[in-house]
Amino acid sequence: MIENILKEKRNLINKHLAGLLKTQRPEHKILFDSMNYSLLSNGKRIRGCLFLFILEMFKVDYLQYLDIAASVECVHTYSLIHDDLPCMDNDDYRRGILTNHKKYGEGVALQAGDALLTFAFQLISQAKFSAKDRCKLIEILSIAAGAEGMVAGQVHDIQIENRSIELDELKLLDKFKTGRMIKAPVDMAIQLTHMSISDAEQLRKFAKHLGLLFQITDDILDYKEDNNEIKNTHKNTYVSLLGLEKAKLAAEETAYKAIEALELMQVDSYILTELVLYILNRRT
Q: Which H helix or E strand runs over 23?
A: none
- Burial readout 122-132 (b: 16 or more C-beta within 10 A, e: otherwise): ebbeebeeeee
Cβ count near 273 (within 10 Å): 17
Q: How distant, in Å, are the alpha carbons of 24, 134, 204, 258 from that of 179?
A: 38, 22, 11, 13
CB-neighbour burial class of residue 182 (10 A; exposed 0-12, middle 13-18, buried 19+): buried
Give the HSE-up count for residue 243: Cα atoms under 13 Å, Cβ half-sphere.
Answer: 2
| pTM, to two decimals | 0.94
First to last CA, the chain: 18
Q: Name beta bridge partners: 230.
A: 223
Distance (Å, whole) CA 211 – CA 57: 20
| 188 residue type, one letter | M
Question: Is the distance from CB of 259 to CB of 225 less than 8 angstroms?
Answer: no
**What is the dihedral angle through the alpha carbons of 187, 133, 139, 212, rounded to the nearest 10 degrees?**
10
Q: What is the DSSP letter of 170?
A: H
pLDDT tens digits along 94-147: 988 999 999 999 999 999 999 999 999 999 999 999 999 999 999 999 999 999
Which pLDDT score is estimated for 139? 99
Instruction: Check: CB of residue 116 under 8 Å from CB of residue 77.
Output: yes
Alpha-carbon distance 23 to 112, whole Å? Answer: 14
Residues 6+ apart with CB under 8 A from 163: none
Q: Are strands 97-98 and 93-94 parallel, antiparallel or unpaired?
A: antiparallel
* pLDDT digits (tens), the chain, 284 positions: 899 999 999 999 999 999 999 999 999 999 999 999 999 998 999 999 999 999 999 999 999 999 999 999 999 999 999 999 999 999 999 988 999 999 999 999 999 999 999 999 999 999 999 999 999 999 999 999 999 999 999 999 999 988 999 999 999 999 999 999 999 999 999 999 989 999 999 999 999 999 999 999 999 998 864 344 445 556 899 999 999 999 999 999 999 999 999 999 999 999 999 999 999 999 88
Residues 6 or more apart whose CB falls under 8 angstroms from that of 227 comprise none
| Domain ranges (residues) in the chain | 2-280
pLDDT at 234: 66
CATH number of 2-280: 1.10.600.10
Q: Over the stretch 221-251, which tens digit does the pLDDT of each residue have?
A: 988 643 444 455 568 999 999 999 999 999 9
The residues pairing with 264 across neighbouring beta strands, listed in sequence order, are: none
pLDDT of res. 114 = 99
